[in-house]
Amino acid sequence: MKRNSIFLLAFVSLFAFSCQKESTTNTSSTTDTYGSSSTATTGITATNTGPTTTVALTSTAPLSAADKDFATKAAEGGMMEVELGQLAAAKATSNDVKDFGNRMVSDHGKAGEELKALAAQKGVTLPAQPGAEEKKTSNDLSMKNGTAFDKAYMSNMVKDHEQDAKEFENASKNVQDPDLKNWAAKTLTVIQDHLKMAKQVASKLK
């Protein structure tokens, strides 16, 4: 009976040690998994969002005066598109106009972050706010309501994107800096899509 008790005690101790080891292993594994996931998420954030956004460069040469001028105007125009898009999403009565406004916030917000990162890597600081002309447009639209706002906003979007398409097409051919030139060409396709959408939405409001 005594030998059986000793055997049983040894078996219980071995089982407890085994469980404790397994628990330690699982805890370590869980920690590694979450640590890896956290690192991956942080890496994505640092690469693609906010002021830590980076872009791959093919040239480290400084921007020319003409290229800086284009980048500055593009930044101001993009910020205006985001600001007016937010206004449309909040004030528009048409769901199509609201959706268009949200699209402007998303697309121009992304393009603006890319441009800001590109310029920063070349030692250029872009404006943090839209220019005087853009602010005037925003103030004028903010005074309108209902269907009057919808029509005025979409009319502005058609005209603005027609002008932007011309400027970005010119930039995609004539900008000297290869990185800024590539950004202009890529953004041009987005602007052209916006122009088509703006015309379609505006036609429904007549």
- pLDDT band of residue 149 (cuts 50, 70, 90) is very high
Q: Is the pTM of this model over 0.75?
A: no
Q: Tell me the per-residue pLDDT of 77-101, one tens digit each, with 9 for 90 and over.
A: 999 999 999 999 999 999 999 999 9
- Amino acid identity of 111? A
CATH number of 63-204: 1.20.1260.10
Domain ranges of the chain: 63-204
- pLDDT band of residue 171 (cuts 50, 70, 90) is very high
d(CA 125, CA 63): 11
Task: For residue 21, report the phi and psi dihedrals to the nearest 5 degrees.
Answer: -65, -40
d(CA 70, CA 24): 59
49 HSE (CA, 13 A, CB side): 6
Query: Would you state the pLDDT for residue 136?
Result: 86
Higher pLDDT, 162 or 59: 162
